Amino acid sequence: MSAILKSPPYLGGIKLIAACWLLTLFQQNGFAGDASQPTNYAGFLRHAEQDYRARKTDYQRAPTNAAFACAFGRTCFVRAEYSSNATERAALAEQGIAACRAVSKREPNSAPARLYLAMNLGQLARTKTLGALPIVAEMELQFQAARRLDERLDHAAPDRYLGVLYREAPAIVSVGDRNKSRRHLLRAAELAPGFPVNRLNLVESFLLWGEKAEARLQLKKLEALLPAARTNLTGAEWAAEWADWEPRIGKARRALQD
């Protein structure tokens, strides 16, 4: 969820819209598949692949175990972030979708199944053009369901993703809505105030919307929480996140220097 891409919301540009805004919508690691990869990109990819294989083994051993299935769904999404082509990304997403749908059918009140289903739908949508738009409607519904079931899941992920979805999606041909985006991003920061990207999303959004005073306020709050976050969010599972967050924080600081 790094760079902000803007496309003209005209019917002639629908294919461009579907292809472009979905590139950033669910991009936890802004460098994934990008030419400007950090020097430790190979290590991040290796860790994601190892985790994917381990979670897949667990899931195949006990496919009706909801915890294993949801963990596999989540790691399918993460591994897909490092895909270099649409074919691989779609294959990984479809595995995650199948695992999470199966849980949702058996356990309709499983918030993780709903969340990771939506996230993998996002990965699949990134491989489509016009075909992405119907998928987005289900993504929205699944995120909303996850939010109703457990709004604090994964550091307020349902509100975080809904906020970015409404911010990035075109308003005319899809679900884009600035007011909804603001409401969900603020709620994510309220529910999980110590999670850096919740506050960072607000900084970036207010910059996008031309509200620099609000962006400065949110950046000040972000700066205050960073020391504790750098202490608490450590290890291999967080290294790739920080490799995404730090450049975005630096970019926001520079944008607010004037």
Residue 79: is its pLDDT beyond 60? yes
**Residue range 230-243, pLDDT digits in tens:** 999 999 889 999 99
Residue 3: is its pLDDT beyond 50? no
Contacts of 34 by beta carbon, 8 Å cutoff, 6+ apart: none
pLDDT band for 22, please (50, 70, 90 cuts).
Answer: low
- Centroid of chain to Cα 26: 3
Please name each of the domains of the chain with its CATH number. Answer: 11-255 (1.25.40.920)
Spatial separation of the C-alpha atoms in residues 68 and 60, rounded to whole Å: 9
**Residue range 201-248, pLDDT digits in tens:** 999 999 999 999 999 999 999 999 999 999 999 998 899 999 999 999
Spatial separation of the C-alpha atoms in residues 236 and 239, rounded to whole Å: 5
| DSSP annotation of 62 | -
The pTM for the full model equals 0.86
Report, in this order, helix, strand and coil percent for the chain, each rounded to 5.
75, 0, 25
Tokens describing residue 106:
């058996």
